[in-house]
């Protein structure tokens, strides 16, 4: 089964997202990826990843991803948040993180937790690929 990952990054964290995705590039190529607008565009343009792009976060992208999550169409959220900059769409951000909690979906909000989640997902995918039928 293909792992379905949502990728979101605030403006000051977009470079971190590109670096993170670059470290897990081979694994992410095997996943179904969804991202908010600008983040998805950068992932596609700079790393060649196939990404389903939603609106930018302030224009409803976080809510679109939250809707997919509630429908059971997202397995993991990597949301590199900028805790030092106020966000005009903070209620949408809180709603997405709450939806992750309600539906028991892993949500990594910083680089360390993102590495932990992605490395575990990558390990699980590798184990499933070699498991006997």
Query: Any idea which residues carry the catalytic annotation?
Result: 62
Q: Are 21 and 7 in contact (CB under 8 A)?
A: yes
Q: Do 21 and 28 form a contact (C-beta atoms < 8 A)?
A: yes
**Two structure tokens written together for 86:** 């106020």
Please state, in angstroms and rounded to a whole number, the distance separating the CA atoms of residues 86 and 83.
8
């Amino acid at each position: 089964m293909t792992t379905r990952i949502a990728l979101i990054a605030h403006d000051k964290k977009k470079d971190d997202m590109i670096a993170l995705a670059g470290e897990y590039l081979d694994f992410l190529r095997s996943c179904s990826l969804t991202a908010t607008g600008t983040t998805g565009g950068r992932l596609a343009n700079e790393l060649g990843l196939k990404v389903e792009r939603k609106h930018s976060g302030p224009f409803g992208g976080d809510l679109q991803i939250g809707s997919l999550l509630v429908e059971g169409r997202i397995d993991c959220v990597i949301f590199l948040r900028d805790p030092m900059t106020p966000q005009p769409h903070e209620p949408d951000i809180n709603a997405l993180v709450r939806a992750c909690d309600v539906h028991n979906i892993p949500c990594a909000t910083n680089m360390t937790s993102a590495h932990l989640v992605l490395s575990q997902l990558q390990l699980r995918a590798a184990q499933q690929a070699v498991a006997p039928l």
